[in-house]
Structure 1
Amino acid sequence: MRVLLTAGPTYEPLDPVRFIGNRSTGKMGYALAEAFAASGADVTLISGPTNLPDPAHPHIRTVRVQTADEMYAAAATEAPAADVWVFAAAVADYRPATVAREKIKKSGYTLTLELVKNVDIAATLGKTKRPEQFSVGFALETEQEEEHALGKLRRKNFDLVVLNSLRDAGAGFGHDTNKVTLLAANGQKTIFELKPKAAVAHDIVQAVLSRLTTHA
């Protein structure tokens, strides 16, 4: 089984010094890469900028990128041959319309930035997904969690969405633990308690593997 997995944040440059990013550490995505590899899968891990070392498992190949455009290009190259797609990266929705060639100097009391929308990697690739391929997305929400997660599942042609809420203590960015709810396209819902991200990754991988037998 071949798995395409995105992880970590993207950094969208503003000038040679500054960027727009987010608080994603990549820990959940890297844990998933390890869990899939442990199950026997060959994993291509497309990672945004993180402080994590490349996984040492021989069945994991790591591709490092910085921006959303770079992540999309790498994912689009790998997607056709992958059996499972897992979109665990926290991709920046917008990027600066222009990138200054030199460091922007402080001037005045305000700075106005024009932002333009980045490509939606999961949604764009979702339009090309073949029936035998299985796609997993992540939804980090702060309100109307299930409604928004299910909307994302439909829009992006996911077979399974992993929902976590920033209102749950110990979940979300910057933690070694996570608490997730799995929402499937067939309406099935599975709630897991707070646990280490390695254990959460194992739960997600087992859920994917169990569904692949009925999905094929």
Structure 2
Amino acid sequence: MNILVTAGPTREKIDPVRFITNHSSGRMGYAIAAAAIEAGHQVTLISGPVSITPPDGAKVVNVVSAADMAEAVHSLAPLADAVIMSAAVADYRPANPWDSKIKKLPGNLTLTLERTEDILASLGANKTPGQLLIGFAAETDDLEQNAMGKLERKNLDWIAANLASDGFGTDTNKITLYSRSGQKIPLPSGKKIDVAREMLKVILT
């Protein structure tokens, strides 16, 4: 199979030296890419800014912002048999980023944010026939309810859900898979590469 994986955070520019980002390390997405290559699949990895080495055999496309991610995904997704969107893409970005460094002045600074494109929803609305679309949901509460809502709204085949405290910035993860057909499959917690292997066994069979 030709598998497209996204990984890591995005960075949304405030000024030339500051940006908005999140705690995603990219390790889960990189583990999924490595496990897919190990299983004999062709893998393209679209990666936000991370400090880890991509797996051997992956075609890597590096991006920075949510807009960069959207452009790369929309270009490559039509060619993929499965799209696994594990990247933590920013939902908001500064509406009017500064061209020069913001100076520290008396008083507060108000930053206006605007929505970024919902890449996953766009993919769900434009899936090619037979294509698998897998999303991720990192939640702080109501895990199952929020994950199932996201799966239905965005027309996903599977969603991998975890508590944010279980996955961000660590080498381990604990996820539960939910399918469009109503399956709920908790995977054993463990190292991200092992979780990725188990995940692929479920979603690609």
Counterpart of 2:193 in structure 1 is: 198
- How far is the alpha carbon of 1:109 from its aligned partner? 2.9
Q: Which residue number corresponds to residue 112 of structure 1?
A: 110
2:93 — aligned with what?
Answer: 95
CA distance in 1 between counterparts of 2:52 and 2:161 reads 23
Give the letter for the 2:119 counterpart: I
In the alignment, which residue of structure 1 is the partner of 2:38?
Answer: 38
CA distance in 2, matches of 1:173, 1:111: 29
Counterpart for residue 214 of structure 1: none
1:27 corresponds in structure 2 to 27
In structure 1, the residue matched to 2:163 is 165
Query: What TM-score does the superposition give when structure 1 sets the normalisation length?
Result: 0.93
What secondary structure does 1:14 align onto?
strand
1:135 aligned onto 2:133? yes
* Alignment partners' CA distance in 1, 2:124 and 2:176: 22
For residues 194 and 23 of structure 1, the distance between their equivalents in structure 2, rounded to whole angstroms, comes to 20
What count of residue pairs does the alignment treat as equivalent?
205
How far apart are the structure 1 equivalents of 2:188 and 2:59? Answer: 30
**Who is 2:122 aligned against?**
124
Q: TM-score, normalised by structure 2?
A: 0.97
Identical-residue share of aligned pairs (%): 47
Counterpart code for 1:27: R
How far apart are 1:203 and its partner, in Å? 0.8
Distance in 1 (alpha carbons) for counterparts of 2:188 and 2:199: 13
1:116-149 deviation per Cα after TM superposition (whole angstroms, max 9, x unaligned): 0000111111111023000100000111111110
CA distance in 2, matches of 1:115, 1:209: 38
Quote the residue 2:183 is aligned against.
Answer: 188
1:103 Cα deviation (Å)?
Answer: 0.3
Is 2:203 the counterpart of 1:208?
yes
Q: What 5-or-longer segments of structure 1 have no aligned partner?
A: 211-216
Name the aligned partner's letter for residue 111 of structure 1: L
Structure 2: how far apart are the matches of 1:115 and 1:135? Answer: 28
State the distance in 1 between where 2:129 and 2:79 align.
Answer: 13
Query: Aligned letter for 2:15?
Result: D
